[in-house]
């Protein structure tokens, strides 16, 4: 039975995921499962999915991640839903299913943006950049990398600044812009070294070696590869050790260092290699050494045996390259039947790869159109919500939240246009609408100025509430005074439009009801009393309750009201009320 707490295990899982430590992930998963809580099961399944991803067991990884997705959705954990969508996208990206990767990354990005999780958004933006790079859409990759980098730099997250700068270096390397690639890699390396991030520095050092290899400077590439290898070995990073060792072996053969390469191959044979790409590369290099030593049949046998690994893990490019290796050596040995056989396979696979790439580009374009259409529809939906609800309320509704709020102390305002029925009967409909539009637009701006929420208008009546932050009484009083000071005239008489206002403060309940023509509304006895204050007010006067009067005068340390006296309020009986003076 585990002696570690959930928090300790969660922290251990996060650390293990950061360094691809599958053994620790599986041990933690077992301990978490023993705890038996929903939260523990979520982290356990995440750990098992990540361990499977590290071991290239992608189908099993997706099973675990989909379980995590279902559990997070059931728990209403939107942050967890975003995170696991990103993990699912990573697996699809590793298997070359880029349209599905893009789908899940976009889902994660939308959730992170709704949650205002800027780091999650930047991480996912970077992953989308990786998909674009892998599918050859380099301008889009560059745009996404730069967008993510700007966020990391603004937030001062230097380790991810270094990582994305490294991604930009890899992008320039793919484009053949070797000086620019080295510039980005060296900037990334400097940040990693400044932070003491030895693992990140080692990865970038190896990438610098790869650029030098691409330029044909194999001696310099070996220098960087060996420096990276020393760090990866010291850090115990098994996967990185095997990959960089394969690169060193390749560079040695290119330099004609066959004896040293043979010794290094023996070391590779003793390694526990999990990455199928590295396994294939090692056997291809073994075959090159065997051909160099005249062991023709051994070389052919080696390559034929590794073909199965390439097929099993869908390493199409490597599969084709193995046939190309066999074809070229058959040509040197005048083995024309062998040459024809492997040339045919190489040609078939190359055409298949090119066809898949074309199909993939079409699929990516279609997926992008689908995502764009969905985002456009979502933007239209949000525009409608924002036009009918306050933005922060609309965002909550869009997240699927049930909006039912309660406030212990809110200040409510009701305003009515005096003589509206009589005056409006003498006006054209357009004149009435135009006048009310001018009045209520002005009042909306006054509310915004004082951080007061407009609730609704009904005919010529206007309702607003101040709550959520301090000084609600003072803010609603300032709104009432500014509204009463606004000057409007009736079109037919140039007579000034007069208003009646009522104010009261106390507890309220607020929320959004229904699904059609939604409205954020406020209820409670406080609302009823504020309405009665308005209906018993007088033209050009602001009528306030005793509760609001006391709170306002206490907050201001001075009297801004004058007693009106005792008034009969429907449903409440006699109440002491006051006039608010501007």
pLDDT tens readout for residues 360-372? 565 666 667 776 7
Q: What is the pLDDT of residues 375-434, one digit of tens each?
A: 777 677 666 666 666 666 777 766 666 777 888 888 999 999 999 888 888 888 888 899
In percent, the amount of the chain with pLDDT more than 70 equals 91
> Is the CB of residue 100 less than 8 Å from the CB of residue 86?
no
Q: Find how far residue 546's CA is from the centre of its chain.
A: 50
- Predicted confidence (pLDDT) at residue 558 exceeds the cutoff of 70: no
Q: What would the mean pLDDT of 459-476 be, rounded to a whole number?
A: 87
- Predicted confidence (pLDDT) at residue 559 exceeds the cutoff of 60: no
Give the pLDDT of residue 447. Answer: 92
- The residue whose two tokens read 């705890």 is 35
CB atoms closer than 10 angstroms to residue 313: 18
Going by pLDDT thresholds of 50, 70 and 90, the confidence category of residue 247 is very high
Q: What would the mean pLDDT of 535-555 be, rounded to a whole number?
A: 89
Give the pLDDT of residue 324. Answer: 86
Q: What is the pLDDT of residues 251-262, one digit of tens each?
A: 999 889 999 999
> Is the CB of residue 233 less than 8 Å from the CB of residue 217?
no
Give the pLDDT of residue 54. Answer: 85
Residue of higher predicted confidence among 267 and 137 = 267
Give the pLDDT of residue 459. Answer: 87
**Please, where are the H alpha helices in 135-237?**
138-155, 158-174, 178-195, 198-214, 218-235
> Is the CB of residue 474 less than 8 Å from the CB of residue 552?
yes
Integer Cα distance of 338 and 287 in angstroms: 16
- Predicted confidence (pLDDT) at residue 520 exceeds the cutoff of 80: no
Give the pLDDT of residue 312. Answer: 79
Mean of the per-residue pLDDT values for the chain?
86
Give the pLDDT of residue 342. Answer: 79
Integer Cα distance of 331 and 324 in angstroms: 11
Integer Cα distance of 394 and 383 in angstroms: 9
Which segment of 36-45, 145-154, 507-516, 563-572 scores lowest on mean pLDDT? 507-516
Local structure of residue 81 (DSSP, 8 states)? H
Integer Cα distance of 54 and 18 in angstroms: 11
Q: Find how far residue 527's CA is from the centre of its chain.
A: 40
> Is the CB of residue 268 less than 8 Å from the CB of residue 249?
yes
Going by pLDDT thresholds of 50, 70 and 90, the confidence category of residue 542 is very high
- Predicted confidence (pLDDT) at residue 165 exceeds the cutoff of 90: yes
| In the chain, where the domains are located | 1-76, 275-359, 370-400, 402-580
CA separation, residue 240 to residues 37, 129, 199, 267, 307 (Å) = 35, 23, 9, 15, 23
Give the pLDDT of residue 503. Answer: 95
CA separation, residue 417 to residues 408, 443, 464 (Å) = 30, 13, 15
- Predicted confidence (pLDDT) at residue 13 exceeds the cutoff of 70: yes
Give the pLDDT of residue 552. Answer: 84
Residues 6+ apart with CB under 8 A from 542: 477, 480, 481, 484, 501, 502, 503, 579, 580, 582
Angle formed by the axes of helices 78-94 and 38-54, nearest 10°: 10
Give the pLDDT of residue 539. Answer: 93
Integer Cα distance of 226 and 245 in angstroms: 8
Give the pLDDT of residue 192. Answer: 92
In CATH, the architecture of 1-76 is Alpha Horseshoe (1.25)
Residue of higher predicted confidence among 409 and 182 = 182
Residue of higher predicted confidence among 385 and 194 = 194
Going by pLDDT thresholds of 50, 70 and 90, the confidence category of residue 570 is confident
CB atoms closer than 10 angstroms to residue 293: 12
The model scores a pTM over 0.75: no
> Is the CB of residue 466 less than 8 Å from the CB of residue 479?
yes
Give the pLDDT of residue 557. Answer: 55
Integer Cα distance of 575 and 208 in angstroms: 82
Give the pLDDT of residue 334. Answer: 83
Q: What is the pLDDT of residues 71-116, one digit of tens each?
A: 988 888 888 999 999 999 999 988 888 888 988 999 899 889 888 8
Integer Cα distance of 540 and 552 in angstroms: 20
Give the pLDDT of residue 360. Answer: 58
Which segment of 24-38, 51-65, 111-125, 366-380 scores lowest on mean pLDDT? 366-380
Give the pLDDT of residue 161. Answer: 92
Going by pLDDT thresholds of 50, 70 and 90, the confidence category of residue 521 is confident
- Using left for φ > 0, alpha for ψ between -120 and 50, and beta otherwise, residue 241 falls in alpha
- Predicted confidence (pLDDT) at residue 124 exceeds the cutoff of 90: yes
In percent, the amount of the chain with pLDDT more than 90 equals 38
Residue 295, helix vs strand vs coil: coil
Handedness of CA 219, 220, 225, 231 (dihedral sign): positive
Residue of higher predicted confidence among 274 and 416 = 416
Integer Cα distance of 435 and 441 in angstroms: 10
In the CATH scheme, what is the code of domain 402-580?
A: 3.30.70.1230
Integer Cα distance of 321 and 349 in angstroms: 9
Give the pLDDT of residue 462. Answer: 94
Q: Which of 490, 486, 473 is nearest to 580 (CA)?
A: 473
């Amino acid at each position: 039975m585990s002696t570690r707490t959930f928090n300790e295990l969660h922290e251990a899982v996060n650390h293990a995921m950061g360094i691809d430590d599958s053994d620790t992930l599986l041990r933690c998963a077992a301990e978490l499962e023993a705890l038996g809580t929903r939260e523990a099961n979520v982290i356990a399944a995440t750990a098992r999915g990540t361990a499977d991803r590290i071991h290239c067991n992608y189908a099993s990884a997706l099973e675990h991640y989909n379980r995590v997705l279902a559990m997070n959705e059931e728990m209403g954990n939107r942050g967890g839903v975003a995170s696991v969508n990103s993990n699912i996208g990573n697996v699809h990206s590793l298997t070359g299913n880029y349209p599905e990767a893009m789908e899940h990354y976009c889902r994660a990005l939308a959730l992170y943006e709704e949650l205002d999780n800027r780091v999650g958004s930047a991480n996912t933006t970077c992953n989308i950049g990786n998909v674009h790079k892998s599918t050859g859409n380099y301008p889009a990759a560059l745009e996404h990398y730069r967008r993510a980098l700007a966020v990391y730099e603004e937030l001062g997250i230097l380790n991810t600044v270094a990582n994305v700068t490294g991604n930009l270096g890899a992008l320039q390397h793919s484009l053949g812009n070797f000086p620019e690639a080295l510039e980005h890699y060296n900037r990334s390396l400097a940040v990693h070294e400044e932070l003491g991030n030895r693992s990140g520095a080692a990865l970038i050092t190896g990438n610098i070696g790869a650029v030098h290899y691409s330029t044909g400077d194999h001696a310099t590439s070996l220098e960087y590869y060996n420096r990276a290898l020393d760090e990866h070995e010291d850090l115990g990073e098994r996967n990185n050790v095997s990959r960089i060792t394969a690169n060193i072996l390749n560079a040695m053969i290119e330099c004609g260092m066959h004896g040293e390469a043979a010794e290094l191959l023996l070391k590779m044979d003793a390694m526990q290699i999990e990455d199928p790409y590295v396994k294939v590369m090692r056997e291809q290099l073994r075959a090159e050494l065997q051909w160099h030593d005249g062991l023709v049949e051994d070389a052919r046998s080696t390559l034929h045996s590794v073909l199965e690994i390439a097929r099993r893990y869908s390493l199409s490019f490597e599969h084709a390259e193995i046939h190309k290796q066999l074809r070229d050596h058959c040509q040197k040995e005048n083995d024309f039947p062998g040459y024809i056989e492997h040339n045919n396979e190489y040609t078939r696979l190359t055409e298949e790869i090119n066809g898949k790439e074309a199909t993939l580009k079409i699929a990516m374009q279609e997926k992008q159109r689908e995502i764009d259409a969905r985002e456009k529809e979502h933007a239209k939906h949000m525009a409608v919500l924002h036009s009918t609800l306050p933005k922060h309320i609309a965002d909550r509704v869009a997240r699927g939240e049930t909006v039912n709020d309660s406030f212990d102390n809110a200040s409510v305002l009701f305003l009515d246009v005096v003589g509206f029925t009589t005056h409006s009967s003498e006006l054209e409909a357009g004149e009435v609408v135009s006048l009310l539009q001018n009045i209520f637009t002005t009042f909306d701006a006054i509310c915004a100025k004082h951080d007061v929420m407009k609730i609704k208008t009904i005919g010529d009546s206007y309702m607003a509430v101040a709550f959520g932050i301090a000084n609600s009484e003072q803010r609603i009083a300032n709104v009432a005074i500014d509204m009463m000071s606004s000057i409007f005239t009736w079109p037919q008489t140039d007579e000034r439009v007069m208003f009646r206002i009522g104010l009261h403060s106390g507890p309220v309940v607020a929320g959004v009801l229904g699904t059609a023509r939604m409205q954020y509304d406020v209820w409670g006895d406080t609302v009823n009393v504020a309405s009665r204050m308005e209906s018993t007010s007088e033209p050009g006067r602001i009528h306030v309750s005793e509760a609001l009067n006391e709170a306002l005068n206490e907050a201001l340390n001075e009297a801004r009201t004058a007693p009106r006296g005792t008034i009969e309020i429907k449903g409440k009986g006699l109440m002491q009320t006051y006039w608010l003076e501007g």
